[in-house]
Structure 1
């Protein structure tokens, strides 16, 4: 929170800036102002919806280039499958934090909005906000849900109306400064409120080295070196605990899970989770994650990316390759005082 001297200085600066804002007097009377406002709002909406089309995929336009995965229907289908994967992993739980009677909740980088919608159904007393760079969420939603187009890496403005619960999931390869983001969460959650992040260690492992030398391994090495070269965090999961504590959270709790790829595990639960992981990846997931970083930062052609994704997909169907990921759920509480 800002101190009184900073607030005063900010106010003075703002007043000075306001005095220098020129007024558009091109309209002749107040009766036209409503039409002009509607026209301007429509223009803004149109710019947000004017998505970038590139290499056969569609990408967000607001803060163009800050998020490297597509936002088209195929990607929406994949994200909804990932939502089901998480439900299977967490035994149908949307979150693990011990929240009680939340009144105001925000879902960061909400994607298709499916988590926010499910949470709103479970907590009809709560006001639930989902924010994302892309306005691709459905219009028919519970009455206690609303969606905003916003950039969570920009400065927030929620301190005066903080949240009981802040949720974020699958921000790996999307965020450059997790530490800053989590500090914003701390400032924007109520004393006693909870923040929960669910995220990957993006690099895969195999218990028997069966991943070594495969096209799957090359795929992740190639795309993650591109993301890392552009400044994105690809393995936030194991670092979340440290970031939470540095931000000031207490009662920080960490749970680590294994997410296999495919149905090779003997354990029924892991086999089911692995099947969902393979399903969401094969819904154009390999190409979705690879196309922009490899063509924009490594000068690959679209055709080269398609070949790499196809080889990785084929390896993923090989029951002799036992690939899996570590996945973390970390939550913490802002102190009451």
Structure 2
């Protein structure tokens, strides 16, 4: 290992698994909160509806209920506002346009479960051994930071976000702060051994600013890890072209761009990190099916969770579609069609992570 800060990244698309599916194309997907609360037997029964011969190991490995209660964990009336029945951060209006209410917190916690499956139960892929100081940018509910602090009891873990919606840490080595990591100065009195970012596509005007700050505040030999998906759909047979799903993803990027956020820049993360000074870059590409159509057990499981996560994202991203110029009736029609496509496991589609 050199003495320069390092970087590890998980994103971009790999090859897609192929093969016909004999499963029911109209199988229902559970809502995130239902899955989080469900016992393994109930989850196993749901998966069994898709597969006439469910694999026992596939069913039993499903994550159990989370300790965080559903809904608000730390609500502050002074830094939130209501719009169309959803609640948004008001610490820096316009800097982040997804909700921060209980429904969104459940979605974020479920997305954490998806990442756990994609990463084979690991919180980080970077070869960190005994970090002293770690930072998670855009910590959301704080579930990753809390888990990381428990796994590394001698590490001081800091999570920053525009919303104070984090659960109370179960250990004393984890703290959360209100901060805009892009526009505000980093005032940490220590050097960072590890910086973690996840699902940051709609968050920054220019993520290069964040990468430069991370480099300048990192200890020699430190690591930065970006875990993210690219906002594109692929298929094994080209059937995704012209789909409602493809249009939905494209319009979300258009809406985000109208607010100064270029979500396609995640593809250039490697380039931007090199510009910031990072070395020894590792780019890991993982295909994530949009439903459990794949024969491979791991990819089938990823598809189940990714499909459910995508369904849960339809509601919070409606605002982005409005930014793209769609009328409410057009948004409703598009979201309805995307939902139908996500429920159809005859469509062998996948996204890149």
Q: Would the aligned equivalents of 1:287 and 1:305 in 2 still touch at CA under 8 Å? A: no
State the Cα deviation string for residues 16-48 of structure 1 (Å, max 9, x = none). Answer: xxxxxxxxxxxxxxxxxxxxxxxxxxxxx9977
State the Cα deviation string for residues 66-86 of structure 1 (Å, max 9, x = none). Answer: 111111111111111111111
Deviation, 1:223, is 1.7
Cα RMSD for the two superposed structures: 1.9
User: Do the aligned partners of residues 114 and 208 (structure 1) sit closer, same or farther apart at CA in structure 2, a change above 3 Å counting?
Assistant: same
Deviation, 1:182, is 0.7
Structure 2 residue runs of 5 or longer lacking an equivalent are 1-73
Aligned residues: 280
Q: Would the aligned equivalents of 1:200 and 1:236 in 2 still touch at CA under 8 Å? A: no
> Greater RCO between the two (CA within 8 Å, min separation 6)?
2
CA distance in 2, matches of 1:275, 1:46: 31
Partner of 1:221: 250
CA distance in 2, matches of 1:58, 1:198: 26
State the Cα deviation string for residues 135-174 of structure 1 (Å, max 9, x = none). Answer: 0011253211111010011133246422111111110122
Partner of 1:107: 136
Q: Would the aligned equivalents of 2:254 and 2:324 in 1 still touch at CA under 8 Å? A: no
CA distance in 1, matches of 2:238, 2:326: 30
Pair 1:324-2:353 in alignment: no
Deviation, 1:103, is 0.9
Q: Aligned match of 2:205 in 173, 176, 183?
A: 176
Secondary structure class of the residue paired with 2:272: helix
Secondary structure class of the residue paired with 2:175: strand
Q: Would the aligned equivalents of 1:259 and 1:274 in 2 still touch at CA under 8 Å? A: yes
Moved more, 151-160 or 84-93: 151-160
4+ residue segments displaced more than 3 Å: 45-50
Pair 1:200-2:229 in alignment: yes
Deviation, 1:313, is 0.9
Q: Rg bigger for which structure?
A: 1
Q: Aligned match of 1:293 in 292, 310, 320?
A: 320
Higher helix share: 1
CA distance in 2, matches of 1:208, 1:229: 32
CA distance in 1, matches of 2:76, 2:327: 29
Q: Aligned match of 1:148 in 155, 177, 183?
A: 177
CA distance in 2, matches of 1:319, 1:238: 27
State the Cα deviation string for residues 247-271 of structure 1 (Å, max 9, x = none). Answer: 1111111111111100111111111
State the Cα deviation string for residues 37-68 of structure 1 (Å, max 9, x = none). Answer: xxxxxxxx997744121122111111111111
State the Cα deviation string for residues 211-260 of structure 1 (Å, max 9, x = none). Answer: 12222122112222111233212234431111111111111111111111
If the length of structure 1 is used for normalisation, what is the TM-score?
0.78
Partner of 1:245: 274
Describe how 1:4-43 pairs up with structure 2 within 5 A: none
CA distance in 1, matches of 2:161, 2:195: 14
Secondary structure class of the residue paired with 1:184: helix
CA distance in 2, matches of 1:49, 1:69: 18
Moved more, 240-249 or 210-219: 210-219
Q: Would the aligned equivalents of 1:48 and 1:62 in 2 still touch at CA under 8 Å? A: no
Deviation, 1:296, is 4.0
Structure 1 residue runs of 5 or longer lacking an equivalent are 1-44, 328-337
Q: Would the aligned equivalents of 1:265 and 1:271 in 2 still touch at CA under 8 Å? A: yes
Pair 1:54-2:94 in alignment: no
CA distance in 2, matches of 1:47, 1:76: 15
